[in-house]
Amino acid sequence: MYNDRVIRFENVRKNYGEVIAVKNLNLSVGKGICFGFLGPNGAGKTTTIKMLTGLLIPTSGKVFINGIDIQEKPEEAKKILGFIPDKPFIYDKLTGKEFLNLMLDIYEVSRQKAEPFRKELLGIFLLSGWQDELVENYSHGMKQKLVITGALIHNPKIIVVDEPMVGLDPHGHKVVKALFKTFCEKGNTIFMSTHTLGVAQELCHKISIIEKGKIIATGTVKELGSQARSDSDKLESIFLKLTEAVE
Ligand SMILES: Nc1ncnc2c1ncn2[C@@H]1O[C@H](COP(=O)(O)OP(=O)(O)OP(=O)(O)O)[C@@H](O)[C@H]1O
Ligand SMILES: [Mg+2]
């Protein structure tokens, strides 16, 4: 019944003590869609993403990945996920190559099989010459590029991304946009939270805006524009109009 819905939140709620970070979230994302999850600071985006990746247990409600309940079968669900967190952690004492090998081992993908893709990703991120260096010698942006490579290398069907563009230079932006576009064109799905609205406008087929833990609008940029009665077709103006209306 839900086969075309690869991501599904059913009445999901998350409380941190008194704070209700996410209120009754109902949301689904179809195959091949780049989905943008936008909202002001503190709106509940990272909390939602952590529940989607199984890092946080909802106070109530359920989250399904490809029809699999992430709480019931976390390992099965996580196998098809790649995750790019907002504050990535990589062991500083690993080299870039060792980090990528670790990712492949975790996902039980043969290093040999992944080799052409690994080469391709490191090449487009200009990291080929750095793979034998310790991660502690990488710049912030280079670490981010390595984390993105690590999330894609096992060929996941879905990637969940919390702020992909932070710290990336213009070339990195261009590369990530192209990578994400190709990823979806192959029938894969992206769930992405970002404050970089230009990127969301360019990439996302569908967007939800969350404000104070509640979804206030969902649709294409055009649909959001009509809902906001915006004169501009720029996502930035539409977003500001919709979120200001909630104040
Ligand atoms: N571990 C925690 N304990 C208590 N409250 C938390 C915790 N993590 C988040 N919150 C609260 O939950 C709400 C949602 O936070 P969340 O980090 O999900 O927002 P966000 O949309 O990702 O914001 P940003 O754009 O700043 O990244 C905020 O009110 C925040 O203060
Ligand atoms: Mg966040």
- What pLDDT, on the 0 to 100 scale, is given for residue 88? 81
Identify which of 9, 16, 210 to mutate to test ligand 1's pocket (most ligand atoms within 8 A of the CB). Answer: 16
Round the average pLDDT of the chain to a whole number and report it: 94
44 C-beta closer than 6 A to ligand 1: yes
Q: Is the pLDDT of residue 229 over 60?
A: yes
243 C-beta closer than 6 A to ligand 1: no
- For residue 227, count other CB atoms closer than 10 A to its CB: 17
- What pLDDT, on the 0 to 100 scale, is given for residue 167? 85
Both tokens assigned to 104: 């492949």
Q: Express each pLDDT in 12-59 by its tens digit.
A: 999 999 999 999 999 999 999 999 999 999 999 999 999 999 999 999
Taking the mean position of all CA atoms in its chain, how far away is CA 214?
Answer: 19
Whether pTM > 0.85 for this model: the answer is yes
8 C-beta closer than 6 A to ligand 1: no
Q: For residue 86, which atom of ligand 1 is closest to its CA?
A: 27
Q: Is the pLDDT of residue 2 over 50?
A: no
Percentage of residues in the chain having pLDDT higher than 90: 91
110 C-beta closer than 6 A to ligand 1: no
43 C-beta closer than 6 A to ligand 1: yes
Q: Express each pLDDT in 77-116 by its tens digit.
A: 999 999 999 888 888 999 999 999 999 999 999 999 999 9
- What pLDDT, on the 0 to 100 scale, is given for residue 1? 44
156 C-beta closer than 6 A to ligand 1: no
38 C-beta closer than 6 A to ligand 1: no
Q: Report which DSSP code applies to 137.
A: G
- What pLDDT, on the 0 to 100 scale, is given for residue 244? 86
Compute the distance from residue 57 Cα to the ligand 1 centre, in Å. 15
Compute the distance from residue 42 Cα to the ligand 2 centre, in Å. 7
Q: For residue 163, which atom of ligand 1 is closest to its CA?
A: 27
Q: For ligand 1, atom 17, which residue shows the shortest CA distance?
A: 46
* CA separation, residue 118 to residues 126, 131, 165 (Å): 12, 11, 21
Give Dmax over CA atoms of the chain in angstroms: 54
| CA dist., res. 37 & res. 149, Å (int) | 22
Q: For ligand 1, atom 1, which residue shows the shortest CA distance?
A: 16
Q: Is the pLDDT of residue 212 over 50?
A: yes
Which residues make up the environment of ion ligand 2, defined by Cβ < 5 Å?
Answer: 45-46
